[in-house]
A and B are shown apart, each in its own frame.
Chain A
Amino acid sequence: MEEKAIVVQNLGKQYPHVKAVDNVSFTVDKGEIFGLLGPNGAGKTTTIRILLTLIQPTSGETLIYNINTAKNSEDVRRMCGYVPQDVSADGDLTAYENVLISAKLYGMPAKERKSRIQEVLNFLELTERAHDMVNTFSGGMMRRLEIAQALVNRPKVLFLDEPSIGLDPNARRIIWGLIKKLRDEYNTTIMMTTHDMGEADILCDRIGIMNRGHLATIGKPAELKSAVGGDIITINSSNPNCFQKVKELGFSTITNSPDGHCDLIVNNGETLIPQLLDGLKARGIQVESVSLKKPTLDDVFLKYTGARIEEGDTYAETRRSRRAFTRRTK
């Protein structure tokens, strides 16, 4: 069997009042972007922190590049990079110093250090602000700096905990571009968490859907979506027997009304529409409008957990302005 980048087996973490992670198992291939998707309190951060040896699991086993994280925690940490959910760049230092300290702690030899730091700062477009104090940075710059810190030792596995939380759409797109580039250029294995359906869809090769400590399902975004059912095509026509003609063409409709409106579930809606329209025209049906709805991960989430994930600006996003240097203490 080919060696996996990450193996998680029957992982469990019990806190006094909640089971944060409950019998979770999955694997991540080398060079893959794997996303854990779930609402607040799903157990995403807990899973990542166990993999990074920051907390002990109550049951189960985790391996990174075949190294047992519980037994060889230092070796594991040396291979990994981590961008935590909360602000983690040090505001009382310059950007350069932040990266410098990371480079040193990861044991980078002194002669490579300088060029390597310049390289990551450049990669994250921070060169111009390298010698400014970090407490003057915007949220997006701070996030990029944190990624720079995590990348400086060229990690084999990068953990990104809600990488775009609290960022504006532009900063978010920049981060997304970076994540893709990182995988494409350096073949870094990336494990990230998010509660943003769109983000998971755009970035991840595979997604695990988590809810209340359970891994509800796992798969490629397209697979998951097709499991919900196919695309939905809605046709509006002034011709009342439209749905009969649709059936004659070999499609099954899910709703049909005598006023000429019908919905049908298909695979590959885009390619079928022209065919469908030509067929209907040939049978003398005047189609007024047609629309295509692709299933979303939201539908997937609904199907597997029986609940809808919060949308848009969620509590988690507003809870904490990433620029604010304070966090409520427990």
Chain B
Amino acid sequence: MKALKAVGKYFSNALIITELELRKIRHDQTQIWVRMVQPALWLAIYGLTMSKLSGMSSFIPANLTYLQFMTPGVLAQSALFVAIFFGINVVWERDLGLLNKLLSTPASRSSIILGKALSAGVRGMFQAVAVIILALILKVHLIMTPLSIIGVFVIIVLVSMCFACLSMAIASLVKTRERMMGFGQVMTMPLFFASSAIYPIAIMPAWIKPLAYVNPLTYVVEAMRDLLATGNLHTLPLDFLVIAAATVLFLVLASLGLKKMVS
């Protein structure tokens, strides 16, 4: 009973932190709109251009068009590119002294991290909506069942949380905004290119392939591709498991790091 209460307290504290972050977004919505631009360009320019390359289609599984293949990739990418810089906010809050105050409340370290990660998840959802709407405007054929839509949003929230936690864990080590910016940039490209986001693993150079298989983003892309394009849900549980495990791992690391950050 006592343990149950503690768990309830933990999640309710996390949700309060999420509320705090969402209230800030509500006061300044420009960032939400601005962040929709980049994924839109990937899909509309890169996607449409690459569709014209005939060579690619022979490597794409399950007779998908390139845009069908790529839309889940852009969804994953848009979540990654925003979440990986999330640690900068935390460094910023540390510098302002906000973190110090937050840590002096009864909320536990990891509930604070979880709350912040959840808010990254909510931001990710806004972008996902934009990407899906654009894809539909471009007449990309996507599977739009309640299950696939819910599944995709759950994954978007998870992947945003996953990389936001990774980013916060790194922030606790590097401790300055400038360095954090650099780390974010250094990490995005390898994570993005060593995944099946915009091309199939089959055509990658042999030495990258193993990297693609340990990259959580690959599992994110595959899960969403199965939900939105192929409809073949065999590997979905495995994908979920990998993403969830990575999220929990990074959550723990970030929580441990948070203590270091203010001392």
**Contact B177 A329, beta carbon cutoff 8 Å:** yes
Which B residues touch A52, using CB under 8 A?
104
Shortest CB–CB separation between residue B18 and chain A, in angstroms? 11
**Contact B27 A90, beta carbon cutoff 8 Å:** no
> Is A77 part of the contact surface with B, judged by Cβ < 8 Å?
yes
The complex places the Cα of A84 from the Cα of B27 at a distance, in Å, of 25
The complex places the Cα of A86 from the Cα of B98 at a distance, in Å, of 9
Contact partner, B24, options A80, A86, A92, Cβ 8 Å:
A92
**Contact A93 B263, beta carbon cutoff 8 Å:** no
Which A residues touch B91, using CB under 8 A?
329
Which B residues touch A104, using CB under 8 A?
16, 19
Of all chain B residues, which has the CB nearest A91?
Answer: B96
**Contact A88 B28, beta carbon cutoff 8 Å:** no
> Is A315 part of the contact surface with B, judged by Cβ < 8 Å?
no
Given A93-B23, A93-B27, A97-B23; A105-B98 close (CB under 8 Å): no
**Contact B24 A93, beta carbon cutoff 8 Å:** yes
**Contact A106 B96, beta carbon cutoff 8 Å:** no
Cβ contacts B162-200/A at 8 Å (1 or 0 each): 000000000000011100000000000000000000000
Number of A-B contacts (CB under 8 A): 79
> Is A171 part of the contact surface with B, judged by Cβ < 8 Å?
no
Which A residues touch B230, using CB under 8 A?
none
Which B residues touch A133, using CB under 8 A?
27
Could you say which of B105-113, B130-138, B143-151, B236-244 contacts chain A?
A: B105-113
The complex places the Cα of A53 from the Cα of B91 at a distance, in Å, of 20
Of all chain B residues, which has the CB nearest A77?
Answer: B106
**Contact B263 A90, beta carbon cutoff 8 Å:** no
**Contact B20 A78, beta carbon cutoff 8 Å:** no
Which B residues touch A88, using CB under 8 A?
96-98, 100-101
**Contact A80 B104, beta carbon cutoff 8 Å:** yes
Shortest CB–CB separation between residue A145 and chain B, in angstroms? 12
> Is A60 part of the contact surface with B, judged by Cβ < 8 Å?
no
Shortest CB–CB separation between residue A99 and chain B, in angstroms? 12
**Contact B107 A326, beta carbon cutoff 8 Å:** no
The complex places the Cα of A205 from the Cα of B96 at a distance, in Å, of 32
- Name B's A-contacting residues (CB within 8 A): 9, 13, 16, 19-20, 23-24, 27-28, 91, 95-98, 100-108, 175-177, 262-263
The 7 closest A-B pairs by CB, nearest first: A86-B97, A88-B101, A105-B105, A82-B104, A55-B263, A78-B106, A92-B24
